[in-house]
Each structure stands twice: as C-alpha cells, then as structure tokens.
Amino acid sequence: MQEVVNKTTVEKRILAPRDSRKTIGTIHVSKPRMVCRNVNVYYGDKQAIRNVSIDIGCNEVLAMIGPSGCGKSTFLRCLNRMNDTIDSCWVTGEILFDDKNIYDPSIDVVPLRAQVGMVFQKPNPFPKSIYENIAWAPKIHGIVESKSDADEIVETSLLKAGLWEEVKDRLDQPGTGLSGGQQQRLCIARAIAVSPEVILMDEPCSALDPIATAKIEDLIEELKTQYTIAIVTHSMQQASRVSQRTAFFHLGDLIEVGMTKDIFTKPSHQLTEDYITGRYG
Amino acid sequence: MNKSTRKSAARSSSGRVKTIDIVNKGLKRRYGKEKRFRFYGLLSIIASAAFLAFLLTSIVSKGYSAFLQTYIKLDVPLEAGMLDKQNPGRSDFQGIIKEAIKDYYPGVTERQDKRELYSLFSSGAAFQLRDEVLNNPSREGSTISLWVLADDDVDMLMKGHIKREVPESQRRLSDKQLRWIERLEKDNRIEKRFNTTFFSAGDSREPELAGIWGAVKGSFYTMLVTLMLSFPIGIAAAVYLEEFAPKNLATDFIEVNINNLAAVPSIVFGLLGLAVFLNFFGMPRSTPLVGGIVLMLMTLPTIIIASRAALKAVPPSIREAALGVGSSKLQVVASHVLPLALPGMLTGTIIGMAQALGETAPLLMIGMVAFIVDIPGGFTDPSAVMPVQIYLWADSPERAFVERTSAAIMVLLAFLISMNAVAVVLRKRFERRW
Ligand SMILES: Nc1ncnc2c1ncn2[C@@H]1O[C@H](COP(=O)(O)OP(=O)(O)O)[C@@H](O)[C@H]1O
Ligand SMILES: [Mg+2]
C-alpha cells in the first residue's frame, strides 16, 4: 500500500509543471566524449528528464545514481537513441557525439549504436550459440569477412570480457545456457565485439550474485582504459568502486555531479546526502 | 497500539487461533475444489474422446469395405489380328467381352436374359481388356484369362449389402442373376481383391469405376496454390504490421478488418472468386488455381492473426539486444525475431490449411462441384477436391457409393494427418528453445 501511495505522489510531482532544479557541481570535463545540453525527455506529455546538461569524459567511468524512477535509464537510453523504440518517447535538447547532435535528422542510428553500445539490466543473450552471439554484430556491420576474422573477434572479445577460459570449449552451445553472471559478461563481450567507443550499462549487476558482480566490476576496471563507460547503478558501493565521476538524479533532475570521492565524502546538496547515507530512496 | 491489534496479539499469545489453524481449516475445501475441477476436466476429455471414437468407428466400419472390390475371372479368346494397330480404340473390346461371357454361359439365349447377364459385369471390363492387350500385344491369337471388374450390384451382394433372402421384387439382382453368380462362385471365378481403381481413378457414374485419386490430386494442387500464396503473403503482412508499420488510425483500421475477415462465412469468398477471378479476370473454371486463390483469401486472416501473435510473443529484450549493437530493423527481424516466431507461424498456417482442406462451400461457387472424370495434371486442369467429392458421393443413390463416401473421408483424414505431420516435423526443426 505504502509503495503505491509513493508512486502516485512521485508521478504527480513529475506531471506538475515546474522548473528544473539547478545542477550543483561541474558538469564540464576537459576532454568530453559526449556532451549533453538541456536534454528533456517526455513519455507522451509526461516529462521524465528535465533540462539535464552533463559531459561524459573520454575514458572515464560515469556512474549515475538516484532513487528508482528518477530517470536514470531514460537518460542513459537517450545516449544511443534506444528510446526511439518507444513510440511515445520524444527528446529535446542536444546530445553531441563527435561534435554532431545525435538527434539531428541526418544522423543514422545504425552507425551511432555501433559506436555507442549498450548492456542491459537483464542479461539478454541471443537464443543462439555463444559464438553467434559475439560474431553476429561484426558480421552484419561487415567488420569481419572471413571465418578466421570472426574467430579472432570472438576470441578477443571473450578474452576482454574475461569469459574465454570458461566457454572456449563450448562456443557452439547456446548462450542462454550460461549462468546469469556469465550471460552478462557475454552481453558485454557482444557489445565490445564491434569496438564501440562508449558503452552504456544499465544496472548490469542488479540481477547477479556478489561474486558475479565482483567479476563485472573488475571487468569495468579493465575496460575503462579503452572505452568510455556510463553506468547506471543502484548500489552506492558499486558507484564508488568503479567510477571517477558520479551524477545524482532525482525526479528527472540532475541534482549534483562531481568526482566520485567528493560526492560520497562531502556531498553539497541535501538530497544527495540523504540518498547516499540511506535516508532516502 | 490500537484495539484490534491488541486483541489479535492476545489471541495468538493465548494460542487459541493460530494462522496455521486457519490455513488447515481451509485446506480441505481448497483440495476439494481442485479435485472437482480436475474431475470436470477429465470428464470433458473423456466425452470428446468418446465422440471422436464413435465418429471414427462409424466411418471406418462403413468405409473399409470400399478398399476391396469384386472381380470375375473371364477366359477371353483373342483372335489373331483383332487389334487395329493404327487405332486401337476402334477394336470392339466390348464385343469380345460379351463373346467371352456368352461362351461361359452357353445356355443363355434370350435377348432379355443376355442383357441381364452382361449387366453383371462392369462396363470397365472392356477397358481392362484393351489395356491388357495393348500392354501384351504378343498374346494375340491365344486365350487369356482376365480378372475383370464386377458390376457394383454384384459387389454389394458379395459384401452382404444385398441380401439373397429378400424377395426378388425388392432386390436389385434377379433370381437368375443370383444363379449365374452362384456358378461363378462354384468355379472359383469370383473374388474380392484390393480395390486399386479406388486409389487410381477419377470420379465415375459407375461406383466400381469411381476413384478418389482425381480428387486427391485436385486437393493437392489446390492446397499447394493456397500454401504458396498465403504463407508468404500472410507472414509478410504480419511482419510488416507488427514490426514496421506505424501505430496509427490506418493500421488500426487494417487490424480490425483482418479480424473481421477471419469471421466472414466462407461462401462469401466463393462468391468473390466467382465475380473477380472467373468473371472479371476470366480464369479457367473448376481449377485448382482459382480454388487455391479463393481458399488463400480465406486462410490469410488466420495466418496473419496467428503470425502476429507469434511475433508479439518474442521477448522485446531480444529486439533491444540486437538494436543495441547497431543492427537495422530488418536485420533484427530476419536474424532473431522470425526464427523465434516461426513455430507459432507454422501452427497458424497449418490451422488455416486444415480449414481450407475441408472447405466445400466456396469451391461450389467456382464450379469445382462439376462431375470431373479426368485426373488433373496441373493447376489449370478442371478437377474435383476431396470434400466436394465426398459431398457428391454422399448425394449419389447407388448403395456402393455409401462405402466409398466413408472411404473418401478416411482418405481425407489421412491427407490431413500427413499434412499436419509435415508441419510438426518442420516446427520441431525450427523450435530450438534456448
Ligand atoms: N516506456 C515508458 N513509458 C512511459 N513512462 C515511462 C516509460 N519508461 C519509464 N517511464 C517513466 O519515466 C520515469 C523514469 O523511469 P526510468 O528512467 O526507468 O527510471 P530509473 O531507471 O531511474 O529507475 C518513471 O516515472 C517511469 O514511470
Ligand atoms: Mg532503470
């Protein structure tokens, strides 16, 4: 009962027209890979993201935290236009990637998504063999031509995802037959098989046990040398372990951004402090 | 702490009403409900199984005798040079058969008697003789013994459908004819053999010459046309509507109309076929081509609806996964969605095809009810289909068509079962549940 009441009040507050709250902290970085300015996202006439501006730096891990329903996934899915699949969803503002607004009509989502890959909350390997899971995307993009190219990509991707040793003898077996943690690493391997520049992760560990979670976190640690990573997480420990910068969202607003160690030791906004100390959310 | 919580706390501390007691008290009723439900389910299954068994036994018991047919052995003398080599049709095989019969019954001289005697033999006997002679021309000049078809009345007598005990006036065979048959029996010249005609011939006015093969081939060609058109069109329409079409008023309108089409009486499609394909486009009447197109119209809604349901059942996470690595919509559909939806689409197709196979009404409208003797050799030959053949035979007065009707139903069921079997095998192949 309590749950329901909370939800409706949250929705009422989102629906109520109000100005966005000002973001505390520095949204700029010295070497940005993606630049978001005044991003608003609506589902129908309901606004889920309000006037969010933030930079995502090159080779950094940006963590996004906040109470559930605050719009973290919505914002993340804007970054590679996954929101296009939702009919009612529309976006205003600018998201620059390579100095081009990805919502510009001239931008094709296919190459965009090849450069900005995504790992989802629930592991979703294709119902095909482990090999096919990795090799499919390079094949459709024409990155690989021969079988040996494909073999190589499969091996390097699985090696990077730390899964090679576990699956090298069963590449022809279904990807869905792996454990949850292995499936999620397979999904990460699938994402890096097309050599994207940015990887978006939406609560990649929320369906996993602590050991599998630790493995994924180690993996993120290694991946950040080559990729820019934006990760949504509901675990404050995870955010503090893996990320350099942290963004705190609340009811569609970006409340505070800063270096992770600052956010977790001396938050500036009352809401941030309440959230990270567990008083709220 | 309010009053009610205090009260319940007191109760549980005194141990009088524990939750587990309440649960236990209700258990018996719960299990009783479940038992009753299972009983009803079992009952309905038994009832439907009983009906099915009754139907099948009645069809089989009526129809199995049609798989046998009475033959009579005749000694036929073939004069040298009787065969007109240039034009074998001109040779008088009918006359030769009659001679052979007369030779066997020398006592029969009256014209009336002769006619009665000849009527014991099928008019197909002459064709049998012709085939025999044409296949073995070397036997000219010798006497061959040939098993020829008996007339359907003789066949009915041998199968016990005409009783010898009933008075002559109520019997289709006269006392004389019975005596002639008795002589054949004594000489071991009459016996029931496997009825190859039934499985190799087209329709005929003479039951002993009538076969289901023409209708089987007609149905096969018709189904082929239906499948070739409705499967690709149906799946393309479903994929487009489900995966590509924008959700707007136009697509809503199309969706409603597809659902309505599925409920339109099939005879309407026949009328449409008559007006459009026969009268407007001038396609050939009574042919599998037109029949197949008409049945395609009828099966399309079924296939589209089932295919859309199958597409809807594909988890959206698979689509997101594929889109997330930068595939185009078509690549998502072709590589991931279609393979997962195909088993469901096949199920819908087989349901539609099974309906189409048993459909009579729309085919009557486009002339497939015509009496067609020839076995169709292609899509544009006039032909019958099985359900219409069954309908025609069921309507025929001859006693021998009763068993042939049931036998034709058995053949139709066999056709249906083999069609389903193919679909099941295909579905198993695609159904890799990973
Ligand atoms: N497909 C959708 N259609 C309508 N509203 C949505 C949809 N997805 C999310 N929302 C709404 O947008 C808000 C933000 O959701 P989401 O981004 O999923 O939050 P988070 O990931 O932070 O938990 C919520 O109020 C949610 O109800
Ligand atoms: Mg979320």
d(CA B71, CA B325): 73
Specify the CATH number for the domain of residue A255.
Answer: 3.40.50.300
d(CA B72, CA B282): 47
Query: Is the Cβ pair B434, A194 closer than 8 Å?
Result: no
Chain A touched by B319 (CB under 8 Å): yes
Chain A touched by B335 (CB under 8 Å): yes
* SS3 assignment for chain B: CCHHHHHHHHHHHHCCCCHHHHHHHHHHHHHHHHHHHHHHHHHHHHHHHHHHHHHHHHHHHHHHHHHEEEEEEEEEECCCCCCCCCCHHHCCHHHHHHHHHHHHCCCCCCHHHHHHHHCCECCCHHHHHHHHHHHCHHHCCCEEEEEEEECHHHHHHHCCCCCCCCCHHHCCCCHHHHHHHHHHHHCCCEEEEECHHHHHCCCCCCHHHCCCHHHHHHHHHHHHHHHHHHHHHHHHHHHHHHHHCCCCHHHHHHHHHHHHHCCCCHHHHHHHHHHHHHHHCCCCCCCHHHHHHHHHHHHHHHHHHHHHHHHHCCCHHHHHHHHHCCCCHHHHHHHHHHHHHHHHHHHHHHHHHHHHHCCCHHHHHCCCCCCCCCCCCCCCCCCCCHHHHHHHHHCCCCCHHHHHHHHHHHHHHHHHHHHHHHHHHHHHHHCCCC
Determine whether the shortest distance from the Cβ of A86 to ligand 1 is under 6 A: yes
Look at residue B109 in the predicted model and tell me its pLDDT: 86
Instruction: Report yes or no: A124 and B320 within 8 Å, Cβ to Cβ.
Output: yes
Between the CA of A16 and the centroid of ligand 1 the distance, in Å, is 16
Determine whether the shortest distance from the Cβ of A68 to ligand 1 is under 6 A: yes
Range of the domain at A265: 2-124+197-276
Ligand number nearest CA of A68 is 1
**For B115, how many CA atoms within 13 A lie in the half-sphere containing its CB?**
2
User: Does the residue A148 lie in any domain?
Assistant: no
Q: Which of B242, B252, B325 to mutate to test the interface with A (most CBs of A within 10 A)?
A: B325
CA-nearest residue for atom 14, ligand 1, is A71
Chain A touched by B327 (CB under 8 Å): yes
User: Does the residue A207 lie in any domain?
Assistant: yes
User: Does the residue A186 lie in any domain?
Assistant: no
User: Does the residue A153 lie in any domain?
Assistant: no
User: Does the residue A159 lie in any domain?
Assistant: no
Residue for token pair 């009403």: B17
Tokens of B320: 């997101």
Look at residue A2 in the predicted model and tell me its pLDDT: 40
Most ligand 1 atoms within 8 A of CB, residue of A73, A75, A234 to mutate: A73
User: Does the residue A129 lie in any domain?
Assistant: no
Q: What is the pTM of this model?
A: 0.85
Taking a 5 Å cut-off on Cβ, the residues next to ion ligand 2 are A 73
User: What digits encode the pLDDT tens for the residues A122-170?
Assistant: 999 999 999 999 999 999 999 988 999 999 999 999 998 889 999 999 9
Look at residue B137 in the predicted model and tell me its pLDDT: 79
Smallest CA-to-CA distance from B318 within A115, A133, A117, A229 is with: A133
Between the CA of A43 and the centroid of ligand 2 the distance, in Å, is 15
Between the CA of A202 and the centroid of ligand 2 the distance, in Å, is 7
Most ligand 1 atoms within 8 A of CB, residue of A8, A40, A43, A234 to mutate: A43
Determine whether the shortest distance from the Cβ of A48 to ligand 1 is under 6 A: yes
Smallest CA-to-CA distance from A201 within A212, A187, A215 is with: A187
Tell which wins on pLDDT, A260 or A4: A260
Tell which wins on pLDDT, A280 or B144: B144
Shortest alpha-carbon distance between residue B422 and chain A (Å) = 25
Overall number of domains in chain A: 1
Chain A touched by B94 (CB under 8 Å): no
pLDDT of chain B, 434 residues: tens digit per residue: 444 444 454 455 555 788 888 899 999 999 999 999 999 999 999 999 999 999 999 999 999 999 999 999 999 988 877 776 677 666 788 888 998 999 899 888 889 999 999 999 998 999 898 888 888 878 778 888 899 999 999 999 999 988 999 998 888 899 999 999 999 999 999 999 999 999 999 999 999 999 999 999 999 999 999 999 999 999 999 999 999 998 889 999 999 999 999 999 999 999 999 999 999 999 999 999 999 999 999 999 999 999 999 999 999 999 999 999 999 999 999 999 999 999 999 999 999 999 999 999 999 999 888 888 899 999 999 999 999 999 999 999 899 999 999 999 999 999 999 999 999 998 888 876 55
Look at residue B13 in the predicted model and tell me its pLDDT: 53
Residue A4 has pLDDT above 80, yes or no: no
d(CA B167, CA B171): 7
CA-nearest residue for atom 27, ligand 1, is A69
Query: Is the Cβ pair B432, A127 closer than 8 Å?
Result: yes
d(CA A16, CA B318): 35
Residue A273 has pLDDT above 80, yes or no: yes
Look at residue B49 in the predicted model and tell me its pLDDT: 97
Look at residue B432 in the predicted model and tell me its pLDDT: 64
Query: Is the Cβ pair B321, A111 closer than 8 Å?
Result: no
User: What digits encode the pLDDT tens for the residues A67-115?
Assistant: 999 999 999 999 999 998 898 999 999 999 988 999 999 999 999 999 9
Write out chain B residues lying below 8 Å of A175, CB-based. 434
Smallest CA-to-CA distance from B92 within B54, B127, B59 is with: B127
Query: Is the Cβ pair B324, A191 closer than 8 Å?
Result: yes
User: Does the residue A236 lie in any domain?
Assistant: yes
Q: What's the Cα-to-Cα distance from B219 to each of B207, B224, B293, B294, B412, rounded to whole Å?
A: 21, 8, 13, 13, 9
Ligand 1 atom closest to the CA of A203, numbered from 1: 21
Q: Which domains are present in chain B? A: 65-194 (no CATH), 213-430 (1.10.3720.10)
The ipTM value here is: 0.87
User: What digits encode the pLDDT tens for the residues A197-232?
Assistant: 999 999 999 888 888 899 899 999 989 899 999 999
Query: Is the Cβ pair A190, B325 closer than 8 Å?
Result: yes
Chain B touched by A252 (CB under 8 Å): no
Write out chain B residues lying below 8 Å of A109, CB-based. 326
User: Does the residue A181 lie in any domain?
Assistant: no
Query: Is the Cβ pair B328, A114 closer than 8 Å?
Result: no
Look at residue A281 in the predicted model and tell me its pLDDT: 55
Q: What's the Cα-to-Cα distance from B150 to each of B118, B124, B129, B193, B206, rounded to whole Å?
A: 10, 9, 14, 11, 11
For residue B169, count CB atoms less than 10 angstroms from its CB and return exposed for 0-12, middle for 13-18, buried for 19 or more. exposed
Determine whether the shortest distance from the Cβ of A15 to ligand 1 is under 6 A: no
Residue A12 has pLDDT above 50, yes or no: no
